[in-house]
Amino acid sequence: MSSYPQISLSGKVALITGGSSGIGRAIALKLSQAGAKIAILDIKECESLLNEIGRDKARFYRCDVTSADEVREVVRSVYEEFGRIDIVVNAAGVIVRKDAVETSEEEWDKVLNVNLKGPFLVSKYSIPYMIRGGGGSIVNVASGWGLKGGPKAVAYCASKGGLINMTRAMAIDHGKDGIRVNCVAPGDVDTPMLRSEAEQLGMKWEDFLREAANRPLARIGKPEDIANAVLFLVSDMASWITGATLVVDGGGTA
């Protein structure tokens, strides 16, 4: 039963990348609680999540979002199995905590490919199916560092800034198709990726956490905080919102 009974996604099918852990996992749970059936695209298995949602309501598809061939075939499989695609959430992401001099070309390519090319490919191959169903909603998971710069994250900041403006461009192009395209811009959220940042920077988690919590609401985010925002954006409550960036960061960019 949905924790937000006024929001129903009953009859909808949501395709979520990076859904096996972190923010993507929380989004998958939240949208399923609102009644949506869930297609999880990831390179990591998610047996416990499938059991939690219910195997009659969720499927896992192994997919490298940087591969056009894989994305095209997996999206087609999702459509053939579920019969429709109404919601796409691009939540897969990676980060390298290095400045421009330290970042290798290989690291730059990996971050841009996962964080920017991935959402492009998943959207490219999903939109025609969404149009068949009469429209839908796409939400890209960006970052506060897509709106402002951050230290030692040059590739990540570039990818998320590009994702925010790609969101705007897609909203302009596909409004006529009944497809709304928005993004959320989280601040620091307690996920495996955030913990990897502390490791990359050589910081103890306790010290990193103390620094990250230095914001008006005095805590880092929970994956559920971002999932709540995504639920709103894909619901009918946001029916006149497209091309928008919803910042969910406890006031970190205020």
**In which order are the strands placed within the sheet that holds 179-186?**
58-62, 37-42, 13-17, 87-90, 136-141, 179-186, 245-248
Cα distance between residue 29 and residue 130, in whole Å: 22
Q: Which of 114, 63, 69 is nearest to 93 (CA)?
A: 114
- Token duo for residue 51: 């059991």
128 Cα distance to chain centroid: 20
- Helices marked H in the chain — which ranges? 22-33, 47-53, 68-82, 105-112, 118-132, 154-174, 192-200, 205-212, 223-234
156 is catalytic: yes
| Active-site option among 61, 125, 129, 156 | 156
Instruction: Please tell me the total number of residues recorded for the chain in this structure.
Output: 254
The packing angle between helices 205-212 and 192-200, to 10°, is: 110
Residues catalogued as catalytic? 156
